[in-house]
Structure 1
Amino acid sequence: MSALQLLLETTVKISALLGPALVVVSVWRFPSAASRHWVLAVAVTCALVLPFLVAVGPTWSAPSYFTPVAAVWSVPDGGSFIGGGMQAVTATTGPGPAPAGAPAPTVVPPGGGPSGRFPVASTLVTVWMLGVGLGLAVLLVRLVRLRWISGPSQAVVSGSWRSMADEVGSQLGLRRPVRLLQSRHPTMLATWGILRPRVVLPKGAQRWEPARIRVVLAHELAHVRRQDWLLHLFGELLCMVQWFNPLAWAARSRLRAEGELACDDEVLRLGVRGPDYATELVDLVRVLRTPRAHSSPAVAMARPSGFERRITAMMNPTLRRQPLLGQARLGVVAAALLLTVPLGILAQGAAAGLSGVVTDQSGRGWADVRLVLVPAGSSTRVATLTLKGDVQVLADEVRITEDELRLEELEKRALSGDDGVAVEIKRRLAAPGEEGGIYASTTDAAGRFAFEAIPPGDYRLSVQRSGFEPIEQAVTLGAGQQATQDIALRLAAVQEHIVVSVTSRAPRVTVADPEALARTQQALATERLQPPVKVRDVAPVYPASRRDQPSAAEVRLETMVTAAGVVEVESVVIQVDPDLLTPVQPEFARAAVEAVRQWQYEPTRLNDVAVPTRMMVTIDFAGS
């Protein structure tokens, strides 16, 4: 799955999690603020875990009922294709005319290819990463600023603040020690920290009345007991990752607001009267209000946002202020997990795609290259059959099963010139079915190809282009994945087959006629891939030592036609005695090598540049 697909899928699933939570806390008015805060806290925490479930968790693929079915590729009548290697052209015979209706070769300018398309996916991912980086930088700056402000603060170890903190902490059931810090900042009143929580007091707080001290400590220590600062950081991280998602910002804002209301309820449950608490809060907001109060990541009691709602809640004696009890809290967690886990592991069987560029060894794209995707492990066999005669039929995607006509028999009938086999081939063209269809694509002028609306699964990708080696690769496509795979073509080997009779007793040298050579080169001038043209041919001679008792022998030579047109013999394949491991008839190999080394070619030209080409030479010495 690509980064953009992961981001989009995660966003949709996070929205599906946060949306119901926001609806619940908006409609659920009767329970206390602590209950609504717990629902939002669980939803935000699950939303942070959800991307990890989507990325690395187990996947359950659900069937997709809206996936478009891709049609099987078919080739119009009259098309032809010869896969595999090139055939060298002999200039002495001259080339034949081009087949009627053959497509004109397309010349791709240097640099042509997919670079002309605007990279939308990578651009969107880059913008998202920049947003995440900016959010992370802002959060770090705020944390550093908080540390810088509280750094020179002095610990409060005695006096009215310390004794009141111990008393209120005992009433709230707080078991962890909380540090009180006296800062030099005149408006700094906040709580932060997880393992070692601390309450930072503003300058001049020593002169506050005991009633105000009790209200402030009750509110701040309630934040400590409820771990609000950790949940506040979760909200910040969610907005940092989902900075473009309005539901993330709404959840963060509502989480803060409900947290303040829940702590206000804790203060009222300790016996503080609502009007008295409201009076103290109004005075604190007036004294501590600062334009930069919102920039601190700490939990601040006198934050102006939501102030009116808090005052209204304090003055309403009918509101429920009890916290959510253990079983109810577990019920909210269980409900959130029942929604989060399926969302995390659910991967709808959405259609996948595969795209890329087919290039030659010089890096330039190639047009009209046929690519076929076949489901791995299926009983489908893909065959390319060229029928002899005026009418040629191409059948790629021929489905052959055990009970049907065997592929070898079909090939035999096709090569024997039986035109009636075309009807049988067309009848057996594959179509998407239970075993999965066969999909194909053809490259455009820049060498680009694309398979769209492909069911996820394992496939074999086959690539064929005349003059190049066929390629077959394994491809795995996940649900909704848009994979990219570029293909580099390699020149196929040139094939030469010669039969030498016993009567061949003297070297026969044939040199290309200049006019015939000129006509051949002119006919090939428009082709991007021009096969080698033999300009000097030397026929092998039947060995004299074998003429009295002739015997059949086959010699295969692996050679290289260099960019200068010279033939270099790289290896010789001949019959070997299995016991002695020595050549049975070395005379035939010497005769073959001696002749082939004297051949000369106009070299293969790729994009108008001479390139070396492998050549496989098979020489059959007749036995009679």
Structure 2
Amino acid sequence: MKISILVLVALCATRLLRNQSAAQRHWILAVAIVCAGVLPMLELLVPAWPLSIGSPSFAELTLPSHPAAATERTSTFSADRITRQAGAPVVGSARDAVRGWSTRSILALMWIAGVAMGLLVLVLGLIRLAWLRSRARPVTLANWTTLSEQIAREYGLRHPVRVLQSDDSSLLATWGVVSPTIMIPGGAERWPDDLVGMVLSHELAHIRRGDWIVQISAELVRSMYWFNPLVWLACRRLRLESEHACDDAVLRSGVDSSAYASHLLGLARAFNHRHPLFPAPAMARSSSLHKRVTAMLNDRQNRSPMSPFARVATVMALAVIAGTIAAAQVFATFSGSLVDPQGAALPGVRVTLSNAERQIKYDAQTNRRGEFEIVGLPPGDYVFEVQVPGFKPYRAALTMTGDNARRAITLEIGSVAEEIVIAGDGDSSSRAVQTASPRPNPPCPSTAATADVPIGGNIRPPNKIRDVRPQYPASVRGTGADATIVLDALIGTDGFLKDVRVREPANREFANALLAAVNQWQYDSTLLNCVPIEVAVTITGRFVHGR
């Protein structure tokens, strides 16, 4: 967007200065394109300043919820001692990360492919210029050499100019900086002296103005921003204005405009073959001929060259504009709300938004309505995280592009984990043990609401009140066999396990031994806001043949 603004400013300026000289318009476009090329580096150097565009508007985001962990309660049976501890967070799957980056990766690959294609075309064009130069022959005709030296002295050129002739009868172009070259077509030795003088004046004007290196720089910038139509338009206008400026240089030397236009039309008819992959100014391009002839025949057209002061002033003005655009940062706001599965607000929850590239982190806390707001966010990629005891931690990728964003987030209830170690040489009896008495239901706080939003997040985790110890299977006792069995289940609202599933692969004898025990377990109710709920549980049984 910043590149588009800078280029658009230059294009508008050239439009407003349409009555000024082509040299001035060309210089504005050239400086603007160079500034566009270095704008990414300016963004790293100049300090940022906030820019607010329009009134706040909230764009609803679809953020994938990546539960980074479950709130776990681990029970480990070691002899007759039970130890309970909180589980550690588990990082989300790599598949989620790949899915989150897929669109961005595709866009990056498309941009790289476009840049590579643009650079390839430019390199092939430069190779073609070198090939043409190697096959061309020096021009030794007196009228060409004499006029070339005379006009070069008038223009004040410091480097010697090579005039070469190609066998191609439709090729007339100029390129080079240290060792500039003018390539004339086959048959040019038969041209009259007045046409030779006009052609040399035009081509040597390109060399004096440095048009070739400017055009190559523009081609590089266009390769980087190949997806931006404004950059393409600016490069096209740059080439056209360079031809206009050189036409003005020829006419300032005293050449009759009608005669010059007539010769230019004759060259265009002779050079009706277009040369692809040719990164050099061409005098008689048919695509720009109408506008150029119209400008030549306009006696009121401003043809004055650009003064050094005007050049410096233009550079300073566009540099200030580019620096201002580079420093401008569009800051946005990310806001939202947190609720539990019952839709009740979660007040006083800390939320974080971090940007790894900038190494910054933003913190906020939800209000009594469960709402949060993080302001002053520059464009970039962020990670949004929420951790609340009893709930699954929430983690989501977020890309801010300058627009305000809002997200309503429902946190999921955490799960429970039980781990049991069953020794083969332990007690072989299986009996139920009353581990605790059922807890009385806590007094429910009044469902005070702020603007009809109930307050939630009150979780009472399950507590085992009846335990049955799994037994090492007698059929494999003494064989030295070990096994790990993992069960997934739900703790129902009545406290018993339901929907018990064995994770495969699993040894059936060990799995049956674990199932026989856990199906007799009982918990007291898990409560959310004083309402019994079901909660997921993972039970891991580790069978070892000895202590």
TM tier, smaller: 0.5 to 0.7
* Partners of 1:456 and 1:112 in 2: CA distance: 22
Hey, what does 1:60 align to over in structure 2? 48
- 2:471–2:514 CA contact under 8 A, matched in 1: no
Hey, what does 2:317 align to over in structure 1? 335
* Partners of 1:187 and 1:35 in 2: CA distance: 30
1:145 is displaced (CA, Å) by 2.2
Following superposition of structure 1 onto structure 2, how do residues 178-327 of structure 1 map, counting pairs within 5 Å?
178-290=161-273, 292-293=274-275, 295-327=277-309
- 1:289–1:302 CA contact under 8 A, matched in 2: no
* Partners of 1:317 and 1:151 in 2: CA distance: 42
Structure with higher strand content: 2
1:22 is displaced (CA, Å) by 1.3
* Partners of 1:64 and 1:23 in 2: CA distance: 24
* Partners of 1:611 and 1:220 in 2: CA distance: 87
The verdict on how the C-alpha distance between 1:262 and 1:476 changes in structure 2, with shifts beyond 3 A counting, is same
* Partners of 1:265 and 1:19 in 2: CA distance: 26
SS of match in other structure, 2:157:
coil
Hey, what does 1:43 align to over in structure 2? 32
Hey, what does 1:25 align to over in structure 2? 14
SS of match in other structure, 1:299:
coil
- 1:86–1:466 CA contact under 8 A, matched in 2: no
- 2:419–2:539 CA contact under 8 A, matched in 1: no
- 2:126–2:278 CA contact under 8 A, matched in 1: yes
Following superposition of structure 1 onto structure 2, how do residues 22-171 of structure 1 map, counting pairs within 5 Å?
22-54=11-43, 56-62=44-50, 64=52, 83=71, 85-88=73-76, 113=96, 119-156=102-139, 159-171=142-154
1:253-284 per-position Cα deviation (integer Å, ceiling 9, x unaligned): 11111110100010111111112211221221
- 1:219–1:266 CA contact under 8 A, matched in 2: yes
1:181 is displaced (CA, Å) by 1.5
| One-letter amino acid of the structure 1 residue matched with residue 278 of structure 2 | S
Compute the TM-score of the two structures, normalised by the length of structure 2: 0.61
* Partners of 1:82 and 1:315 in 2: CA distance: 80
SS of match in other structure, 2:135:
coil
| One-letter amino acid of the structure 1 residue matched with residue 50 of structure 2 | A
SS of match in other structure, 1:175:
coil
- 2:430–2:471 CA contact under 8 A, matched in 1: no
The verdict on how the C-alpha distance between 1:200 and 1:349 changes in structure 2, with shifts beyond 3 A counting, is same
The verdict on how the C-alpha distance between 1:478 and 1:119 changes in structure 2, with shifts beyond 3 A counting, is closer
The verdict on how the C-alpha distance between 1:455 and 1:48 changes in structure 2, with shifts beyond 3 A counting, is closer
- 2:335–2:371 CA contact under 8 A, matched in 1: no
Identity rate, percent: 32
1:112 is displaced (CA, Å) by 7.5
The verdict on how the C-alpha distance between 1:495 and 1:118 changes in structure 2, with shifts beyond 3 A counting, is closer
- 1:351–1:479 CA contact under 8 A, matched in 2: no
The verdict on how the C-alpha distance between 1:533 and 1:122 changes in structure 2, with shifts beyond 3 A counting, is farther
Aligned length: 403
1:431-482 per-position Cα deviation (integer Å, ceiling 9, x unaligned): 657xx69xxxxxxxxxxxxxx98998999956578799x999xx99998599
1:518-537 per-position Cα deviation (integer Å, ceiling 9, x unaligned): xxxxxxxxxxxxxx985479
| One-letter amino acid of the structure 1 residue matched with residue 288 of structure 2 | G
* Partners of 1:31 and 1:131 in 2: CA distance: 36
* Partners of 1:205 and 1:300 in 2: CA distance: 15
1:142-182 per-position Cα deviation (integer Å, ceiling 9, x unaligned): 22222222221123367322221110011112222211122
* Partners of 1:82 and 1:181 in 2: CA distance: 77
SS of match in other structure, 2:287:
coil
1:139 is displaced (CA, Å) by 2.1
1:209 is displaced (CA, Å) by 1.7
Hey, what does 2:430 align to over in structure 1? 513
1:85 is displaced (CA, Å) by 4.4
1:29 is displaced (CA, Å) by 2.5
1:235 is displaced (CA, Å) by 2.5
* Partners of 1:240 and 1:124 in 2: CA distance: 16
1:312-344 per-position Cα deviation (integer Å, ceiling 9, x unaligned): 221222211111111111221122112101111
* Partners of 1:293 and 1:458 in 2: CA distance: 48
SS of match in other structure, 1:174:
coil
Hey, what does 1:394 align to over in structure 2? none
SS of match in other structure, 2:113:
helix
Following superposition of structure 1 onto structure 2, how do residues 174-573 of structure 1 map, counting pairs within 5 Å?
174-290=157-273, 292-293=274-275, 295-351=277-333, 373-374=351-352, 432=372, 461=385, 463=387, 511=428, 513=430, 535=470, 564=484
| One-letter amino acid of the structure 2 residue matched with residue 177 of structure 1 | P
1:38 is displaced (CA, Å) by 1.1
| One-letter amino acid of the structure 1 residue matched with residue 184 of structure 2 | L
* Partners of 1:229 and 1:220 in 2: CA distance: 11
1:206 is displaced (CA, Å) by 2.1
The verdict on how the C-alpha distance between 1:563 and 1:314 changes in structure 2, with shifts beyond 3 A counting, is same
Hey, what does 2:502 align to over in structure 1? none
* Partners of 1:132 and 1:82 in 2: CA distance: 45
* Partners of 1:300 and 1:281 in 2: CA distance: 12
| One-letter amino acid of the structure 1 residue matched with residue 430 of structure 2 | D
Hey, what does 2:505 align to over in structure 1? none
- 2:352–2:384 CA contact under 8 A, matched in 1: yes
| One-letter amino acid of the structure 1 residue matched with residue 248 of structure 2 | D
Hey, what does 1:577 align to over in structure 2? none
Structure 1 gaps of 5+ residues are 1-11, 72-80, 94-109, 355-370, 383-396, 399-425, 438-451, 483-490, 497-508, 518-531, 538-561, 566-600, 614-624
* Partners of 1:154 and 1:214 in 2: CA distance: 20
* Partners of 1:322 and 1:454 in 2: CA distance: 46
1:24 is displaced (CA, Å) by 1.9
* Partners of 1:89 and 1:466 in 2: CA distance: 23
SS of match in other structure, 2:182:
strand
| One-letter amino acid of the structure 2 residue matched with residue 323 of structure 1 | P
The verdict on how the C-alpha distance between 1:456 and 1:149 changes in structure 2, with shifts beyond 3 A counting, is closer
* Partners of 1:149 and 1:262 in 2: CA distance: 26
- 1:45–1:234 CA contact under 8 A, matched in 2: yes
- 1:91–1:534 CA contact under 8 A, matched in 2: no
- 1:232–1:256 CA contact under 8 A, matched in 2: yes
Hey, what does 1:580 align to over in structure 2? none
Hey, what does 1:15 align to over in structure 2? 4
1:123 is displaced (CA, Å) by 2.4
1:533-573 per-position Cα deviation (integer Å, ceiling 9, x unaligned): 85479xxxxxxxxxxxxxxxxxxxxxxxx8559xxxxxxxx
1:183 is displaced (CA, Å) by 1.8
- 1:63–1:349 CA contact under 8 A, matched in 2: yes
1:116 is displaced (CA, Å) by 6.7
1:11-57 per-position Cα deviation (integer Å, ceiling 9, x unaligned): x1111111122122123232111111111111111111113334x43
* Partners of 1:197 and 1:279 in 2: CA distance: 27
- 1:61–1:347 CA contact under 8 A, matched in 2: yes
| One-letter amino acid of the structure 1 residue matched with residue 202 of structure 2 | H
1:503-529 per-position Cα deviation (integer Å, ceiling 9, x unaligned): xxxxxx755627899xxxxxxxxxxxx
* Partners of 2:133 and 2:381 in 1: CA distance: 57
| One-letter amino acid of the structure 2 residue matched with residue 87 of structure 1 | S
1:189 is displaced (CA, Å) by 0.8
- 1:373–1:459 CA contact under 8 A, matched in 2: no
